[in-house]
Amino acid sequence: MKIKKEFFLGLMVLVIVVLLIGGIYTFRKIRIRDSLIAQIKELSPRDIPPRTIEDLREAIRLYEELIEQHVRDAAQTGVYWKLLATRLQERGLHHEALNALERAVYYIPEDAYVHYQRGISAGIVAKSSFSAAEGNADAQEYFALSEKSYLRAIELDEGYSRPRYGIGILYVFEMNKPREAIPHLLRYLEISRNDVDAMFVLARAYYMVNNYQDALDIYDRIITTSRDAAKRIEAENNRQTILDSLYG
């Protein structure tokens, strides 16, 4: 008799536990359902839960309009950050410009111009007194950000020439990577054939990798094409320096 009593007592406890679990599950389903109904109700033009297929379609349409508006707002916010960054750069405030450009990248990550501008500001910050005070590791971090930004801009728009010139300067004068600079500068000069400043950078890159003949050819090109007398004289002097080092 005692065993039967214990059995029925255990069975009762089990039933109560099962009922409690079922009740909790049902309560959660009701809460989720009510929450969904409330959200749909907010989107319903008649402020009541949609009861027909047409009502549901209308609620979906309104929701999609809200999404589209959010997308438009986000894109416009990115434009504002980009504009702010440009104004800050014009005033030489490149630390602040970098912060603005980070926000612009967040909103419009596939805008090649934003990445290019970030490459410019990061390179300038790397050479600033702030970076020098923080030590070489800090400067290298900004140079790495500059490189990453230029490369991303090129990846997004291969026909966009300015990032190629920017990374060419970065590789030649700051990161000691002249070999990596050469293809970018060559591509840039295919587009901007008469950019004498870029020719000087390319000639220097050739000189740094001991490709003296190509460096001489670039200096000859500057001498014959530039209308700037000072730049022609500079090219002639650089050309003579190479010849002197080769032939004494």
Is the pLDDT at 127 greater than 70? The verdict is yes
pLDDT at 105: 94
- Residue 109 belongs to a domain: yes
Is the pLDDT at 85 greater than 50? The verdict is yes
* Separation of alpha carbons 83 and 157, rounded Å: 20
pLDDT at 20: 46
pLDDT, tens digit (0-9, with 9 covering 90-100), for 172-226: 999 999 999 999 999 999 999 999 999 999 999 999 999 999 999 999 999 999 9
* Separation of alpha carbons 227 and 213, rounded Å: 23
pLDDT, tens digit (0-9, with 9 covering 90-100), for 5-53: 444 444 454 444 444 444 544 555 556 555 555 655 555 555 555 566 6
Which is more confident, 135 or 111? Answer: 111
Structural domain of 111:
39-160
* 219-238: average pLDDT: 95
The mean predicted confidence, pLDDT, of the chain is 82
Residue whose C-alpha is closest to residue 143's, from 153, 133, 154, 128: 128
- Residue 90 belongs to a domain: yes
187-195 CB contacts, 8 Å cutoff, 24+ apart: 187/161, 188/161, 188/164, 191/159, 191/161, 192/161, 192/165, 194/225, 195/165
Looking at 75-84, 123-132, 197-206, which range is the least confident one? Answer: 123-132
Token pair listed for 157: 């728009």
Query: According to DSSP H, which parts of 2-135 are helical?
Result: 2-43, 53-90, 94-107, 112-126, 129-134
- Residue 64 belongs to a domain: yes
pLDDT, tens digit (0-9, with 9 covering 90-100), for 40-54: 555 555 555 556 666
pLDDT at 138: 83
- Residue 59 belongs to a domain: yes
- Residue 128 belongs to a domain: yes
pLDDT at 14: 44
Residue whose C-alpha is closest to residue 153's, from 97, 83, 81, 101: 101
- Residue 234 belongs to a domain: no
pLDDT at 109: 93
* Separation of alpha carbons 50 and 106, rounded Å: 36
Tally the residues of the chain: 248
pLDDT at 52: 65
Please report, for the domain that includes residue 86, its CATH number.
1.25.40.10
CA–CA distance from 91 to each of 88, 94, 105 (Å)? 5, 8, 21
Looking at 83-87, 131-135, 204-208, which range is the least confident one? Answer: 131-135
105-110 CB contacts, 8 Å cutoff, 24+ apart: 106/78, 107/74, 107/75, 107/77, 107/78, 107/81, 108/75, 108/78, 108/79, 108/82, 110/156
Is the pLDDT at 69 greater than 90? The verdict is no
* Count of domains forming the chain: 1
Is the pLDDT at 227 greater than 70? The verdict is yes
User: Other CB atoms closer than 10 Å to residue 136's CB: what's the count?
Assistant: 10
- Residue 114 belongs to a domain: yes
- Residue 4 belongs to a domain: no
List of residues 6+ apart from 16 with CB closer than 8 A: none
